[in-house]
Structure 1
Amino acid sequence: MKGKIVIPIVVGAIIVMIGIIAITNQESNQMEVEDILDRELMPEEDTSPEVQKKLDEIERINLENEYSPKEREWITSGPFQIDRSEYVLGEKIFLVIGGLQQYEKGQVAFLRPLNDTHYKVYQTIPFDGSKKNVFNYYIQPQISKENGICSIDDLVGDWTVVFRGTNYENLKFRITDKILPGDEDSYEPVC
């Protein structure tokens, strides 16, 4: 009877020992993999002149392409405001309308330049002070084959914002030929 009890105890002990050995080996393999990964990710101290030249060139290009938006200026005409006098392609033009009178009703028209003396309506935004006297809106001028805006040349220049149905002065802003980093593909010619 003693032999029947001893066999399961010995088998159990062997299984526990095999389990401990397997866990120990697994942990040690994980450590080796992590050490190898860390070594691969750490750059070597001595960089070859070719690699350093390429790194310097990449850093120079990044500095040239660094974008920082102009400060907001809030150009105002009555209850209408736009946030800047100059934008790069890809930036949103924010229009803030605050404090419309009950009787003020009309349209805000964004006019893009066709040449030095003529403009074309890019977008209109209706307003009615009896329904809503305060709201915000933004536009982002884009190339559009359907609207006949074929290239950045059709967007660049001095724009005018007209407040139809009011006597408020027009607002002016400029869109430059610079493109917001990351938006370059949006301004490929389409016509």
Structure 2
Amino acid sequence: MKTSLIIIPIIVAVVVIIGISATSFNESEVTEIEDIINKELGTNDEFTIEIDEKLDEIENKVEESKDTETSYDATREREWLTSGPFQIDRSEYALGENIFVRMNNLEPTEKGQIAFLRPLNDTHRSVYLTIPFDGSKSSFNQYFTPDLSKIQGICSIDDIAGEWVAVFRGTDYENIKFTVSDKIFLPGEESRFESVC
């Protein structure tokens, strides 16, 4: 019993001495590392000013784009147009905007394809993309972005803009119609939609 009373204060004293030594060593080491990092990165004030300038530049571009005919309101809410277990998130999309597709609670026997048809003219359409589905996987999400493609003969905005149709092949579900406008989703991407053919 007497030995345990003597050992406990000795252990406490050793731990305190080790803690003090480690703290004084670590403080000088941390200060040295901080000095090296600050030299490499520059001061925090310079970094903060640079970030603020970039944010201002982005805000200005957004404000400028609101004044142009090709601007588009990216803040609007999703609408989720529905046909059976299939949904798309909006009735109108801008050029460069993702089209989100959701499939929920497919029956195990449901198999087929979602065919996205782009307009060729007022009366004809062409398949832009097909997405297969199989009820063995009852729910999944996918997205795509309509874009120009020299290989597919989609040369200009006129080949994308207009009324699209999502057709659910292999089912009796109603088609979903939506529009791809000629407005650009992100400011500064006008060159992305210049003619490629």
TM-score (norm 2): 0.64
Of 83, 88, 92, the match for 2:94: 88
3-state DSSP of counterpart to 2:166 = strand
Gap runs ≥5 in structure 1: 1-33, 38-56
- Provide structure 2 residue ranges, at least 5 long, that are not aligned to the other structure: 1-42, 47-59
Query: Which structure has the larger Rg?
Result: 1
Find the counterpart in structure 2 of residue 173 from structure 1. 178
Question: How far off is 1:185 after superposition?
Answer: 1.8
Cα distance between partner residues in 1 of 2:163 and 2:65: 29
Q: Do structure 1's residue 142 and structure 2's residue 147 form an aligned pair? A: yes
**Does the aligned pair in 1 maintain the 2:120–2:159 contact within 8 Å?**
yes
Q: Return the offset for 1:121.
A: 0.1
Tell me: CA distance 1:102–1:144, structure 2 relative to 1, closer, same or farther (3 Å): same
Equivalent in 67, 90, 100 of residue 64 of structure 1: 67
Report the alpha carbon displacement of residue 63 of structure 1 after superposing the two structures with TM: 4.1
Deviation, 1:68, is 2.9
Offset of residue 186 of structure 1: 1.3
CA distance in structure 2 between the aligned counterparts of 1:153 and 1:67, rounded to whole angstroms: 17
Structure 1 counterpart of 2:37: none
Q: Deviations over 1:120-164 (max 9, x none)?
A: 00000000002x110000010000000000000000000000000
Q: Name 2:85's counterpart in structure 1.
A: 79
The answer for the alignment partner of 1:117 in structure 2 is 123
Quote the offset at 1:71 in angstroms.
1.6
Counting matched residue pairs gives: 137
Number of the residue aligned with 1:154:
159
Secondary structure class of the residue paired with 2:101: strand
The share of aligned pairs that are identical, in percent, is 60
Deviations along 1:13-42, one digit per CA (max 9) or x if unpaired, are xxxxxxxxxxxxxxxxxxxxx9xx9xxxxx
1:182 is displaced (CA, Å) by 2.9
Tell me by how many angstroms 1:62 deviates.
4.8
Could you tell me how far 1:61 is from its partner in structure 2?
Answer: 3.1
Matched, 1:126 2:132: yes
Cα 1:168–1:63 change in 2 (3 A) is closer
RMSD between aligned residues: 2.4
In the other structure, the counterpart of 2:27 is none
